[in-house]
Amino acid sequence: MKLIYEKSVKGRGGFSLKEDNFPYKDISSLIPNYALSEEEKALPEVSEVDVIRHFTKLSKLNYGLDDGMYPLGSCTMKYNPKINEKLASLDNFVYAHPFTDQRYVQGSLQIMYELSEMLSEITGMDKFSLMPAAGAHGELTGVLIIRKFFKDKGEKRSKILIPDSAHGTNPASSAMAGFKVVEVPSNERGGIDIEKLNELMDEDTAGLMLTNPNTVGLFDENIEKIAEIVHSKGGLLYYDGANLNALLGIVRPGDTGFDVVHLNLHKTFSTPHGGGGPGAGAVGVKRELKEFLPSPIVGMSNGEYIFEYPTKSIGRVRAFYTNFPVIVKAYVWIMSLGSDGLREVAETSIINANYILKKLKRYYKPAYDRTCMHECVLTGREYKEFGVKTLDIAKRIMDYGFHPPTIYFPHFQPYAEETIMIEPTESESKETIDSFIETMIKISEEAKTNPELLKEAPHNTPVGRLDEVRAVRNPKLVFKGDNDK
């Protein structure tokens, strides 16, 4: 497919403007010198039809949730109901200015207030802030709350404990908040090593960041003991909500000992994720921490929705409240499902993942051969004897019309070599999952009988296999100008 620059024809245009009646002004009198350029920009000269057809064809090369299953482990890529988009695009939401007097945006504030209350009920927390803009931003906010909590108590705690199976944003957020990161190893069951946690948890440790179910899709069987160990030293337990999809309506993190949570509204609560974003990283806390939340938060007084200002707040973490349409979409999704529907989401996602694990473990050895939650971790290590890597398997999956699952993550040893992490979510039907399973079994046979087929995959996609390492190390950005630079 040609680049838009290659479709350029000298003198062709896609618009015309009538001559205006305003007096002529030299552009240099309107724009600062630093923003002016003496060189004519090398822009393509194309018609409106050229532009529309070019970008329409490009859009058809994309793969998204509206095309098919997106089994990315540890990412909860679920279908986004179109009613969410419809209601989030209502004029009163889209055109509300951030500086509008709160008397005139009571509907928007009501949604924010009611969503906060629902999230508190779902997680077992006492108060929520909707200000953070994404998951990692929510993490940083939560850790900053923990830091200020101890500072307010006059305690100088310098460390945060993080499991070796954690998302990479956990240590990054902790380091950005000024803490030293200390890794806690996993045990042979895939959970926290309790003995090591006991050794590492001391009065200089602010707390433990934990995803539960964890990053290998397993519910930590020792969660109550973990909470007891952390709290016995005065620490706080932080919940990374990336995998909350497995617990909705079944278990509340707050009831298992967590003090702070962040939620990915753009994952668990069905709003577009990744390139379809943006996101929202709501943060909830127990009662003793609510005065440290980002300020302001939405409250209610005498039947009116107002802004409240926590007395010990960490301050603002962004200019305004998160990406508001994401809040609306999450609100609509929760209201559409109700409490019973939320529980069904979790139960279905767990059934789907265990169904895949059961059907495929003969062909792809599990990292942990035990009941999983919403996602399962298989491995492709048995195929190395045929010269086939997990990367080759993932590339071959694309030829069958599926997006590849997450590979080489989680990556901690010794259980996670050549990993294939699959999260089917509740969105997928049995027919779709069966088709995916059949594809994986067929690829298993191909790996043994025709390994070269996998090594050269994908074969049926618009772009073949790229050299990702070379592309990252030697980026080559090209545009066509007068001198073909």
- How does pLDDT run across 353-401, given as a tens digit for each residue? 999 999 999 999 998 889 999 999 999 999 999 999 999 999 999 999 9
pLDDT of residue 384: 95
Provide the phi-psi class of 358: left if phi over 0, else alpha when psi is between -120 and 50, else beta: alpha
pLDDT at residue number 168: 87
Instruction: Specify the length of the chain in residues.
Output: 485
- What is the spatial distance between Cα 203 and Cα 200, in angstroms, rounded to a whole number? 10
Q: Residue 404's pLDDT is what?
A: 95
Burial class (CB within 10 angstroms; exposed 0-12, middle 13-18, buried 19+) of 183 = middle
Of the candidate CATH numbers 3.30.460.10, 3.90.1150.10, 3.30.70.1290, 3.40.50.300, the domain formed by 345-471 belongs to 3.90.1150.10
pLDDT one-digit tens code per residue, 18-41: 888 888 888 888 888 888 888 888
User: What's the confidence (pLDDT) of residue 343?
Assistant: 98
Question: Per-residue pLDDT for 300 more than 70?
Answer: yes
Q: Which residue has the higher pLDDT, 94 or 16?
A: 94
Look at residue 484 in the predicted model and tell me its pLDDT: 44
Least confident of 18-27, 288-297, 300-309: 18-27
pLDDT at 482: 44
Tell me the C-alpha distance between 273 and 425, whole Å. 14
Question: What is the tens place of the pLDDT at every residue in 172-197?
Answer: 999 999 999 999 999 988 899 999 99
On the question of pLDDT at 257 being above 70, the answer is yes
Mean pLDDT of 234-252: 96
Q: What is the pLDDT at residue 130?
A: 96
Tell me phi and psi for residue 101, to 5 degrees: -55, 135
Which helix (DSSP H) or strand (DSSP E) does residue 228 occupy? helix 223-232
Q: What's the pLDDT at 20?
A: 82
Of 267 and 247, which is predicted with more confidence?
A: 247
Give the pLDDT score at 485. 38
306 band by pLDDT with thresholds 50, 70 and 90:
very high
Average pLDDT over residues 286-300: 96
pLDDT in tens, 211-226: 999 988 999 999 999 9
- Extents of the domains making up the chain: 4-60, 82-337, 345-471
Q: Spell 107-117 as b/e; 16+ CB within 10 A means b.
A: ebbebbbbbbe
Class of domain 82-337: alpha beta
Model confidence pLDDT, tens digit, residues 321-339: 888 999 999 999 999 999 9
Can you give the pLDDT at residue 165?
86
pLDDT at 112: 96
3-state secondary structure 248-291: CCCCCHHHHCCCEEECCCCCCCCCCCHHHCCCCCCEEECHHHHH
pLDDT at 462: 86
Query: Are 82-337 and 345-471 the same fold in CATH?
Result: no
Reference 109, options 269, 314, 303; nearest CA is 303
Amino acid, res. 32? P
Using alpha carbons, select from 240, 245, 247 the residue that is nearest to residue 261. Answer: 240
pLDDT averaged over every residue in the chain: 92
What is the reported pLDDT for 213?
95
Mean pLDDT within 125-144: 95
**pLDDT tens digits for range 394-442:** 999 999 999 999 999 887 655 668 999 999 999 999 999 999 999 999 9
Check residue 481 and give its pLDDT.
46
